[in-house]
Chains A and B, each alone.
Chain A
Amino acid sequence: MKQKLLAAPYLVWMAVFVIVPLIMVAYFAFFDSDGNFTLQYVADVAQYSNIFVRSVWLAALATVICLVLSYPLAYILAKMDTKVQSTMLMIVILPMWMNFLLRTYAWMTLLGNEGIINTLLGYIGLGPFKMLNTQGAVVLGMVYDYIPYMILPLYTVMTKIDKSVLEAANDLGCNSFKTLIKVVLPLSLPGIMSGITMVFVPAISTFIISRMLGGGSNLLIGDLIEMQFLGNSYNPNLGASISLVLMVIILLIMTLMNQFDVDDDRVLM
């Protein structure tokens, strides 16, 4: 009884800020301005499939890059002296304290045609290269902004791996590389899964990064949705439909991922 009472504020919070908005989104997606049920808006989403494909592709690419960069870093970090570890971790987290917009702006001034990198390259007779307003710049922005969310879960799961288990692998004939493949990798799977989730979900729905670093030509789903609410092409019903489809896509991908996770949990537990 007491437990239920304690949970009450959270239940109310959930209802007001999660359930109700979700119902509203669904309502806008399936009912027109006269209150008639329609599948038109959802069907209209299909014409933007190229933007969906691009968003999934760029977000997936950024997630993979984050994983490839973070994994060795987290591994090395977890192996370090405990005192050094906290300092290093601090350095990793430090950029997160800076405003997200500011960090993304910084890349604009670095990558622009008259930006710092091209200016420096000009001194040695190279360039200018078109870097800003490319898909590469968008992916770079995503990786830069979201990589701490990959490093942290990986690092956490790796510090939890018992050192004596690694020594056991060593004892049974594994050198460091084989130990990494046969023991560290399977034991860090839960960290990999949550890292992927924490990078992929914000990356696929971002609109700031694509707007600032991708120019007008690399629209993502996030930009598309924003345009339906704030842009010239004002159409909240379509915007709600796109949001709904995006949610379903994320849900599908996460379920797929969790399938792996559950499988490995069985082995892990």
Chain B
Amino acid sequence: MEHIVSLKDIVVNFDGEQILNHINLDIKDKEFVTLLGPSGCGKTTTLRIIGGFLEPDSGVITFEGKKINGLPAYKRNVNTVFQRYALFPHLNVYENIAFGLHVKKLPEREIRKRVGEMLDLVNLRGYEKRNISRLSGGQQQRVAIARALVNRPKVLLLDEPLGALDLKLRKEMQIELKRIQQSLEITFIYVTHDQEEALTMSDTVVVMNQGNIQQIGTPVDIYNEPENAFVADFIGESNIIPGIMLKDCLVEISGREFVCVDKGFGNNTPVDVVIRPEDITLVPTEDAKLSGVVTSVTFKGVHYEMVVEAYDYQWLIQSTRSAELGSAVGISFGPDDIHIMHKMKG
């Protein structure tokens, strides 16, 4: 399979500090790829390298198999939706969207046609003459998307495009963006720090932390099979408990032995054990190997979130049924629910 964009061993330093640490990333054509990670982990920097706004200190970037290091942004077949939209304040909605086509000196009729298509796509018909400052955040957002897409780029880069919108609008725009990406069949490289957003929209999620790629995979893979404790912790809530891998398929947690499905960690190896809060069921104390005391109960709408203190560890548990505060409960989970990770460095 041909990759449309590839980053090979990309290194970026700012003021002697390593911001991107040997990044390797292959992006398939027509894919919705999300770079996910906490603020400051290097997502924007990665995007700027692809867009042509930043040259890596070392490493190769290819586009459709051709090396494009040093190629200025205006010559790349890539367009960007900037973090704070960066619309032209001196131009109206129509002129903003038409900007790239005017620069390419397309015939006026063609420009009108294509801008019209874009206005339909982002639901902004009738707003052509509107000044940018008189648009809501969501509308500005859609102008920014139309302004980039009208150029029919092979790849669209989006830097936290929904970050400034309120929750309801964000949900709507997530669906909208996914629909646009699928109908136009172009590659989206999407940056966000919101794990839910990443899981909802993406074909592939790239989890980053401190300039390193932690894991690349489908949303389901990333959620169900996190490769390390960072990913497990960042993607959804998790219980991360220190444990000892006694041998293949047998792990010790808080002094008790549990059967699991993981292999290949060697014998008597310290590991991190990850268990999702929704995978745990509360049972009578006599039916469980681990038991503790309920220290908090919070109603979350669909489910209850409870904290159970057992053997110096606070277990987070989600269940549709609540337990009584202060009561003693047993903690139960199956072999499939146990995820073993190598111990995090540091």
A residues whose Cβ falls under 8 Å from a Cβ of B = 162, 164-165, 167-175, 178, 182-183, 186-187, 264, 267-269
Beyond A165-B87, A170-B72, A268-B90: 10 further Cβ-contacts under 8 Å?
A162-B86, A164-B84, A165-B89, A167-B53, A167-B80, A168-B82, A168-B87, A169-B99, A171-B51, A187-B90
Q: Give Cα A169 to B78, complex, Å.
A: 13
Interface flag for B131 (CB, 8 Å)? yes
Residues from chain A with a CB closer than 8 A to the CB of B218 are: none
Residues from chain A with a CB closer than 8 A to the CB of B88 are: 165, 168-169, 183
**A-B CB proximity, top 10 nearest:** A172-B100, A164-B86, A173-B103, A168-B86, A186-B90, A170-B73, A171-B80, A173-B74, A165-B86, A268-B90
Residues from chain A with a CB closer than 8 A to the CB of B53 are: 167, 170-171
Interface flag for B43 (CB, 8 Å)? no
Residues from chain A with a CB closer than 8 A to the CB of B147 are: 168, 172
The residue of chain B having its C-beta at the shortest distance from the C-beta of A161 within the complex is B89
Q: Which of B80, B90, B103 has the most chain A CB atoms closer than 10 A to its own CB?
A: B90
Q: Give Cα A186 to B80, complex, Å.
A: 22
B residues whose Cβ falls under 8 Å from a Cβ of A = 51-53, 72-74, 78-80, 82-84, 86-92, 99-100, 103-104, 131, 133, 147-148, 151
The residue of chain B having its C-beta at the shortest distance from the C-beta of A172 within the complex is B100
Contacting pair A172 B79 (CB below 8 A): yes
Contacting pair B89 A171 (CB below 8 A): no
CB distance from B150 to the nearest CB of A (A): 9
Q: Give Cα A267 to B148, complex, Å.
A: 21
CB distance from A190 to the nearest CB of B (A): 11
Q: Give Cα A164 to B44, complex, Å.
A: 13
The residue of chain B having its C-beta at the shortest distance from the C-beta of A175 within the complex is B74
Contacting pair B86 A170 (CB below 8 A): no
Contacting pair A269 B86 (CB below 8 A): no
Please judge, given known A-B contacts A168-B80, A170-B73, A172-B147, whether A187 and B89 are in contact too, CB under 8 Å.
yes
The residue of chain B having its C-beta at the shortest distance from the C-beta of A266 within the complex is B131
Can you name 26 A-B residue pairings with CB atoms under 8 Å?
Answer: A164-B82, A165-B88, A165-B89, A167-B53, A167-B82, A167-B86, A168-B80, A168-B82, A171-B51, A171-B53, A171-B73, A171-B148, A172-B74, A172-B79, A172-B100, A172-B147, A173-B100, A173-B103, A173-B151, A182-B103, A186-B90, A187-B89, A264-B90, A267-B90, A268-B89, A269-B89
Residues from chain A with a CB closer than 8 A to the CB of B91 are: 267
Q: Give Cα A171 to B151, complex, Å.
A: 10
CB distance from B257 to the nearest CB of A (A): 56
The residue of chain A having its C-beta at the shortest distance from the C-beta of B78 within the complex is A171
CB distance from B82 to the nearest CB of A (A): 5
Choose from B83, B89, B99, B133 the contact partner of A172 (Cβ within 8 Å). B99
Residues from chain B with a CB closer than 8 A to the CB of A170 are: 52-53, 72-74
CB distance from B74 to the nearest CB of A (A): 5
Residues from chain B with a CB closer than 8 A to the CB of A167 are: 53, 73, 80, 82, 86
The residue of chain B having its C-beta at the shortest distance from the C-beta of A264 within the complex is B90
Residues from chain B with a CB closer than 8 A to the CB of A187 are: 89-90
CB distance from B130 to the nearest CB of A (A): 12
Q: Give Cα A225 to B5, complex, Å.
A: 72
Q: Give Cα A264 to B131, complex, Å.
A: 12
Residues from chain A with a CB closer than 8 A to the CB of B100 are: 172-173
CB distance from A172 to the nearest CB of B (A): 4
Q: Give Cα A165 to B85, complex, Å.
A: 8
Please judge, given known A-B contacts A167-B82, A269-B133, whether A172 and B103 are in contact too, CB under 8 Å.
yes
Residues from chain B with a CB closer than 8 A to the CB of A267 are: 90-92, 131
Choose from B51, B84, B89, B104 the contact partner of A173 (Cβ within 8 Å). B104
Q: Give Cα A183 to B131, complex, Å.
A: 16
CB distance from A23 to the nearest CB of B (A): 42
Q: Give Cα A114 to B99, complex, Å.
A: 58
Choose from A162, A164, A178, A186 the contact partner of B103 (Cβ within 8 Å). A178
The residue of chain B having its C-beta at the shortest distance from the C-beta of A187 within the complex is B90
Residues from chain A with a CB closer than 8 A to the CB of B92 are: 267
The residue of chain B having its C-beta at the shortest distance from the C-beta of A167 within the complex is B53
Contacting pair A269 B131 (CB below 8 A): yes
Q: Give Cα A173 to B153, complex, Å.
A: 12
CB distance from B25 to the nearest CB of A (A): 21
Q: Give Cα A167 to B92, complex, Å.
A: 18
Residues from chain A with a CB closer than 8 A to the CB of B99 are: 169, 172, 182
The residue of chain A having its C-beta at the shortest distance from the C-beta of B103 within the complex is A173
The residue of chain A having its C-beta at the shortest distance from the C-beta of B131 within the complex is A269
Residues from chain A with a CB closer than 8 A to the CB of B78 are: 171
Q: Which of A162, A172, A174, A187 has the most chain B CB atoms closer than 10 A to its own CB?
A: A172
Contacting pair B74 A171 (CB below 8 A): yes
Contacting pair B103 A174 (CB below 8 A): yes
The residue of chain B having its C-beta at the shortest distance from the C-beta of A171 within the complex is B80
Contacting pair B72 A175 (CB below 8 A): yes
Residues from chain A with a CB closer than 8 A to the CB of B82 are: 164, 167-168
Q: Give Cα A162 to B87, complex, Å.
A: 10
Q: Give Cα A268 to B95, complex, Å.
A: 13
Residues from chain A with a CB closer than 8 A to the CB of B84 are: 164
Q: Give Cα A172 to B96, complex, Å.
A: 10
Q: Give Cα A206 to B91, complex, Å.
A: 39
The residue of chain A having its C-beta at the shortest distance from the C-beta of B134 within the complex is A269
Contacting pair B74 A174 (CB below 8 A): yes
Please judge, given known A-B contacts A164-B84, A178-B103, A269-B133, whether A171 and B79 are in contact too, CB under 8 Å.
yes
Q: Give Cα A267 to B129, complex, Å.
A: 10
Residues from chain A with a CB closer than 8 A to the CB of B89 are: 165, 187, 268-269
